[in-house]
Amino acid sequence: MARDSEATRARILDAAEAEFAAYGIAGSRVDRIADAALANKALIYKYFGTKDELFDAVFAHRVLAFVDEVEFDATDLPGYAGRSFDLYERFPTTLRLTTWYQLERPDGKLPAIVASNDAKLAKIEEAQRAGKLTTAYSPLELLTEVRALAMSWHLHTPELALVRRPSRARCREVVVESVRRLVEHD
């Protein structure tokens, strides 16, 4: 029977995403990834290189999926925040991978992420120059705040999670309204 290398790669990426989301880079084990993917370790190393390179591939894959699914419109940052909130709800591993990335790769410079951020910042700057977006904050400040607000309901402490959370719809509404107020014209 012929091997389907694309299907094997996809199984490895899926298994690695679950492993890295649960344990981070340092705590993840290639043996567990291989077992979950029904692949051998040698094949993982052949396809992806080191464990760190596998994490980078998983993270870049997840970020590119996010970028493809969540339309970015600098003139509608509240809508972008709401769509981001929706994706974090549907794919909680996105936030877990992001958190591990920030903790274990504080100086990370993955080309896909750099390109995505650069494009967003340029669009925000363009919208500001056109008078369609507040200039009270720099593009970096705006993007940082919008991202933080979109993630906010998913990143609180376990103790805060014990407090009765508002409905999903209300949480989304708070995110969108907060960003709307943030970006109001001067």
CATH of the domain at 115: 1.10.357.10
Kindly state whether residues 39 and 92 are assigned to the same domain.
no
Q: Is residue 86 part of a domain?
A: yes
- Nearest alpha carbon to residue 12 among 42, 67, 98, 105: 42
**Residue 45 included in any domain:** yes
- Domain of 25 in residue numbering reads as 1-57
Cα(124)–Cα(135) distance, integer angstroms: 10
Tens-digit pLDDT profile for residues 117-134:
999 999 999 999 999 999
When the pLDDT of each residue in the chain is averaged and rounded to a whole number, the result is: 91
Whether 147 is in a domain gets the answer yes
Are residues 144 and 51 in contact, defined by beta-carbon separation less than 8 angstroms?
no
Q: Residue 3: its pLDDT value, please?
A: 61
pTM metric for this prediction? 0.86
The answer to whether residue 6 sits within a structural domain is yes
* pLDDT reading at 69 higher than 70: yes
Please give the backbone phi and psi of residue 179, each rounded to the nearest 5 degrees, phi first.
-70, -40
pLDDT value at 185 more than 80: no
Does residue 1 register a pLDDT over 60? no
Average pLDDT of the residues in 39-60 = 94
| Measured torsion, CA atoms of residues 77, 82, 84, 86, in degrees rounded to the nearest 10 | -170
